[in-house]
Structure 1
């Protein structure tokens, strides 16, 4: 009876260990693919037009700055600009989550 319980516990441990290893591998591969895609996008946009790339980066920076400002400041009193605030806040949130994801899993990629 004790041997059966030990074997069952070891089997559960092995399944959990392999599942976590496969999950980590998949997340690392997704992070590497995302990082490679971002680098490719930057390279292609720069090779197309450096001026438009800098202008686009500036606009993206303003967009993310507005989203961060709307995220971390108090609630607005008026109803004006709620759609823009919602869009920029969502964009900032997506960018922040992507940055944290790449920070956690992109560093395990051999390309960095």
Structure 2
């Protein structure tokens, strides 16, 4: 085996290791950003609910109930058996908001602010 062939193998191995490390660091940074963002969103929602409850408890409870019904509708639209019927815009938006809410809850459960 020649020296240049050996160098080529070493360079390929180093490139693969570098690519793996870049991907690993990128995924760790993305996880950290998503967790921090979820904690900020959760803290903001708790603060808004607490302040709203102090100002007008009935309106705050009604708004929270409406959001829960909307998220429930989105979950139902996502999880129901598919039909050949085209879904409307409201169903798509509700499903997307349900998906975002699930991701936020899952990431917020990993941070210390939810305990």
TM-score, with structure 2 as normaliser: 0.70
Residue 108 of structure 1 aligns to a residue whose secondary structure is coil
Q: In 2, are the aligned partners of 1:64 and 1:91 still within 8 Å (CA)? A: no
Q: How far apart are the structure 1 equivalents of 2:44 and 2:61? A: 18
Q: 2:55 aligns with which of 26, 44, 48?
A: 48
Alignment of 1:76-91 (within 5 A): 86-87=89-90, 89-91=91-93
Aligned counterpart, 1:18: 25
Aligned counterpart, 1:108: 110
Residue 112 of structure 2 aligns to a residue whose secondary structure is coil
Q: In 1, are the aligned partners of 2:39 and 2:108 still within 8 Å (CA)? A: yes
Report the Cα offset of residue 6 of structure 1.
Answer: 1.7
Alignment of 1:25-104 (within 5 A): 25-64=32-71, 71=77, 72=80, 75=85, 86-87=89-90, 89-104=91-106
Q: Which runs of 5+ in 1 are unaligned?
A: 77-84
Report the Cα offset of residue 62 of structure 1.
Answer: 4.5
Is the alpha carbon distance of 1:97 and 1:9 closer, same or farther for their aligned partners in structure 2, counting shifts above 3 Å?
same
Q: Which runs of 5+ in 2 are unaligned?
A: 1-6
Q: Indicate the RMSD between aligned Cα atoms, in angstroms.
A: 2.7
CA deviations on 1:11-70 (whole Å, 9 max, x unpaired) are: 11111111111111111111111111111111111011112212323344454556666x
**Larger of the two Rg values belongs to structure:** 2
Q: Which runs of 4+ in 1 moved over 6 A?
A: none
Q: How far apart are the structure 2 equivalents of 1:46 and 1:28? A: 27
TM-score, with structure 1 as normaliser: 0.71
